Amino acid sequence: MSERETPWDAVGERVRELRGAAGLTVRELARRIGVSASHVSQVERGIGSFSVPALYAVAAELGVPMHDILDPQAPPAPPVAPALAPGGGDLVSAGIVQRAPDHPSIKLSSGPRWSRLTAMGEPDAEFLEVVYAPGTDAPAEHIVHQGREYGVVISGRLSVELRGEATVLHPGDSIVFDSAIPHRFWNSGDEEVRAIWFVRDRKANDPVPHA
């Protein structure tokens, strides 16, 4: 299955645009997300890429949903879904169905490949296919961000660690947790891991989980 991969030079251009609009220097954005200024500069020039934790941190600092960075060329989602004509209509044009070759995807630094499974960005959620290459070590960084995650493994065996407790998810296993809990994923097996992931953004008035 071929997909529409987002090149990192397009991502970098979008990050530079958003950073400028926010009035942040390269050095200040780097300080806020915990990476070097040279790393941010490399990403903005299309010769570097962010890790999963860094990408979440960038989106949070720049005040944009993740899909705005994942697929910067996509039009914004309309506030109301397009209506279908009586008796049917073109589900693809209406943004209801997305064909497999049209999934925008991006390869994260030393991490998984994300493919967005919605035709347009959802305002409060991310619906993704996540693919982990085999034979990878546990990442040094834990991921922490706002939201709640729901995942199910389709193939392979995915190692999961939440707040120091680790387990392995097998095909058909599912997981639900609050994204504010430090977490990380990796694939130490010899088979590619495919999983479907749904991340719901947290609203300001949502209850905060107990740490």
Q: Do residues 101 and 3 lie in contact, with contact meaning Cβ atoms separated by under 8 Å?
A: yes
| Tens digit of each residue's pLDDT (9 = 90 or more) over 43-77 | 999 999 888 888 889 988 998 888 788 776 665 55
Q: What is the pTM of this model?
A: 0.79
Domains and CATH numbers, the chain: 4-70 (1.10.260.40), 100-200 (2.60.120.10)
Q: What pLDDT is stored for residue 208 in this prediction?
A: 47
Q: What is the mean pLDDT of residues 89-95?
A: 78
Q: What is the mean pLDDT of residues 100-124?
A: 85
Dump pLDDT digits (tens) for 70-84: 776 665 555 555 555
